[in-house]
Amino acid sequence: MSTATLSSLIGVLILGQVAGFALVARHRYRGKFRALQTQALGGGPGAPPYRTPSDAEEENQDNVDPDELDVFPSAWAGYKEFVVQRRTPEDRNGDVCSFHLAPADGARLPAFRPGQYLTFKLEIPNGDAGSTKGVVRCYSLSDRPRSDLYRVSIKRVPAPPGRAELPGGVASSHFHDLVREGTRLAVRAPSGHFHLIEDGDLPIVLIAGGIGITPMLSILNALAHWADPREVWLFYGVRNGTEHIMKEHLETLRDTHPGFHLRVVYANPSDADIPGIDYHHRGYIDIRLLQEVLNLGRYEYYVCGPPPMMEALVPALETAGVPAWNIHYESFGPASLNRGQTLTQAQGESPITVRFGKSGTSVPWDPAASESLLELIEDQGIRVDSGCRAGSCGCCETRIEAGEVLYRQQPDADVKPGHCLLCIATPSTDLTLDI
């Protein structure tokens, strides 16, 4: 055999081996996805095993194969107690802080789908000696699924501009000011329909504005950990370097994963921010920028950011020809997008009455005064649980004793038959609620 033939043969063997490794990696990854999907959705006992190693395991056993480790258990019902293990400041301003949470019972944690969130019930001091009020809020998981810890990253919300007389955000201030290592917190299991499509084939575009980066971090860290072969772009917009969170981490991911492309956009860079190093574009993430960089080919888009960004970008992607099923988005505040799924309040002739079954009181429904049943109920001084106020967390789910409701948008949370989500529902007939 000549030297040239031998070299070609070796080349073919090496290529074959590389392709084999890629196929095995893809197959393992898809196996993990199926396990994750089944378990995160309350999966059955036959679900294939999957868990990821903890930090300690990663440090001690770099070559550990996640497939050989224990199984993620299934999710819990209601609230479970967690203990804060550590806090990590994430930006130069000190406005964003990560909280690492371990279950108080030391049990293994269920998997979640990257992009999902946790719901917290906080007991916030009320001012009166020793008394507290319960406040429910949602926070996206900001790291990949692990069996020992969850991480959330929370931005302190100040009073609205020009309204200094108002208090800052109740829950975010509580986290920043009072939640310390060792603090115990009541947490509902991960949920939410905004998450990575784990077995998708299209390359991925993540678009994050401000604190909307948190679900994207979870998605990115999971993709990197699973050695997912898909190409990933992250467009991350903030005001300037002081708000740029996890900068080093994102740059390390970019430098170590050739398929990951990072585009940082500063709206208002400071003198200390260096173009081409700290940020790539000046201004806002808009359709023009996406067209310029991506040529808007076939991608799976994930968008999370402040209302103006979402309101501009999501419809613009659709107008630019991106199929609606390739655009996934989540808003951290009241719903701001209407993609044609919205049901409107029925314009009936006769007035509608809402009755509260437990107290027996009734109030007329006035669509000009209340946007949702939740608002109507709160205006009556009745306390009900609410978290996202956007149909996502399921906290305000309430049983309907009689009557029917319409939703102003498609609920994101799963709703039990005969129940409704007060925060996005309006009555379409006379209604009696189990309140």
State the residues that interact with ligand FAD by CB under 6 A.
117, 137-140, 152-155, 157, 159-160, 166-172, 192, 211, 214, 330, 332, 388, 390, 392
Q: Which residue stretch of 41-49, 162-170, 236-244, 388-396 sits at the interface with ligand FES (rule: CB under 6 A)?
A: 388-396
CA 19 to mean position of chain CA atoms: 34
Find the shortest distance in angstroms from Cβ 193 to ligand FAD. 10
| Residue 394 touches ligand FES, criterion: CB under 6 A | yes
Q: Of 340, 344, 333, whose CA–CA distance to 390 is shortest?
A: 333
Would you say 290 or 304 has its CB closer to ligand FAD?
Answer: 304
φ and ψ of 190, to 5 deg = -55, 140
Q: Which residue stretch of 45-53, 148-156, 239-247, 381-389 sits at the interface with ligand FES (rule: CB under 6 A)?
A: 381-389
Would you say 165 or 201 has its CB closer to ligand FAD?
Answer: 165
Find the shortest distance in angstroms from Cβ 309 to ligand FES. 22
Q: How many chain residues are in contact with ligand FES, going by CB under 6 A? A: 13
Would you say 152 or 421 has its CB closer to ligand FES?
Answer: 421
Q: Please give the order of strands across the beta sheet that includes 79-89.
A: 132-140, 117-125, 184-191, 79-89, 96-103, 150-155
Q: Given its phi and psi angles, is residue 418 left (phi above 0), alpha (psi -120 to 50 degrees) or beta?
A: left
Amino acid letter for position 418: G
**Gap between the Cα atoms of 417 and 423, Å rounded:** 17
Tokens of 395: 């906290």
φ and ψ of 19, to 5 deg = -60, -40
| Residue 118 touches ligand FES, criterion: CB under 6 A | no
Find the shortest distance in angstroms from Cβ 398 to ligand FES. 9
Tokens of 363: 């109030």
Find the shortest distance in angstroms from Cβ 331 to ligand FAD. 7
Name the binder of 117 from ligand FAD, ligand FES, none, CB < 5-8 A by kind.
ligand FAD
8 Å CB contact between 350 and 295? no
Q: Give the chain's end-to-end CA distance (angstroms, integer).
A: 86
Find the shortest distance in angstroms from Cβ 41 to ligand FES. 18
Find the shortest distance in angstroms from Cβ 372 to ligand FES. 9
8 Å CB contact between 420 and 343? no
φ and ψ of 155, to 5 deg = -95, 135
Q: Given its phi and psi angles, is residue 104 left (phi above 0), alpha (psi -120 to 50 degrees) or beta?
A: alpha
| Residue 423 touches ligand FES, criterion: CB under 6 A | yes
Would you say 100 or 408 has its CB closer to ligand FES?
Answer: 408
Find the shortest distance in angstroms from Cβ 424 to ligand FES. 7
Place of tokens 């996805």: 33
Q: Of 193, 249, 192, whose CA–CA distance to 221 is shortest?
A: 249
Task: Report, in this order, helix, strand and coil percent for the chain, each rounded to 5.
Answer: 25, 25, 45
Name the binder of 394 from ligand FAD, ligand FES, none, CB < 5-8 A by kind.
ligand FES
Name the binder of 396 from ligand FAD, ligand FES, none, CB < 5-8 A by kind.
ligand FES
Would you say 185 or 388 has its CB closer to ligand FES?
Answer: 388
* Out of 386, 398, 426, 428, the residue judged to bind ligand FES by CB under 6 A: 386
Tokens of 255: 């430098």
Q: Which residue stretch of 6-14, 31-39, 56-64, 380-388 sits at the interface with ligand FES (rule: CB under 6 A)?
A: 380-388
Find the shortest distance in angstroms from Cβ 317 to ligand FAD. 20
**Which residues are at the interface with ligand FES (CB under 6 A)?**
386-389, 391-396, 413, 421, 423
